[in-house]
């Protein structure tokens, strides 16, 4: 009797001896499905650290008031509410930096205003959504000791960071060309 099982895009076969052929049956146990590898303790610690970091970023964004006195959403400079100085690029060159509007976008995301968040900085909206998804994912993976949804954390992280950096610079180029 043979059964196949697909797990992580690989196929494994469970081979059991034929009960009718008891004299020629192999003496070994049936082949079992390989388990997903366990996450090392240090990596689990990093996942918990990331969950705390993502939670802190989202909590800080939730404390920011991203609207002006008229109730209109701001497009940038809300990071000054956290005690940070104004953007040096705007002060020196009169042009936004690649991250301008990122904090505002996070704050608008946390205030459930995704359209305004996308207008402030759509890469910030993507990053805020990534952090919001990342909090429960990192906690579940750290507790269970296994990666879920993605197979290779290093490869996926490289793709995510590359995509975010490229889109951030691409957005900045578009903003610079239109201003």
Give tens-digit pLDDT for 47-106: 999 999 999 999 999 999 999 999 999 988 899 899 999 988 888 888 888 888 899 999
Residue 92 lies in a domain: yes
Residue 1 lies in a domain: no
Residue 129 lies in a domain: yes
Which residues make Cβ contacts (< 8 Å) with residue 144, sequence separation at least 6? none
* Range of lowest pLDDT (28-37, 48-57, 116-125, 138-147): 28-37
Residue 168 lies in a domain: no
Residue 10 lies in a domain: no
Residue 18 lies in a domain: no
Residue 78 lies in a domain: yes
Q: How far apart are CA 25 and CA 16, in angstroms?
A: 9
Residue 160 lies in a domain: no
User: Any idea which residue has 């992280």 for tokens?
Assistant: 157
Give the structural domain span for 56.
Answer: 40-150
User: How many domains is the chain partitioned into structurally?
Assistant: 1
pTM over 0.75: no
């Amino acid at each position: 009797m043979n059964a196949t099982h697909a797990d992580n895009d690989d196929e494994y076969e469970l081979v059991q001896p034929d009960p009718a052929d008891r004299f020629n049956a192999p003496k070994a146990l049936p082949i079992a499905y390989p388990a997903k590898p366990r996450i090392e303790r240090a990596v689990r610690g990093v996942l918990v650290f990331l969950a705390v970091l993502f939670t802190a970023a989202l909590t800080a964004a939730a404390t920011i008031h991203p609207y002006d006195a008229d109730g209109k959403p701001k497009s940038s400079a809300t990071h000054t509410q956290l005690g940070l100085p104004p953007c040096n690029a705007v002060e020196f060159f009169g042009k936004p930096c690649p991250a301008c509007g990122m904090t505002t976008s996070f704050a608008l995301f946390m205030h459930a205003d995704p359209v305004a968040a996308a207008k402030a900085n759509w890469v910030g909206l993507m990053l805020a959504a990534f952090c919001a998804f990342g909090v429960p994912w990192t906690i579940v993976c750290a507790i269970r000791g296994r990666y879920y949804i993605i197979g290779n954390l290093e490869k996926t992280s490289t793709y995510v960071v590359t995509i975010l950096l490229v889109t951030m610079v691409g957005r900045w180029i578009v903003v610079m060309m239109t201003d």
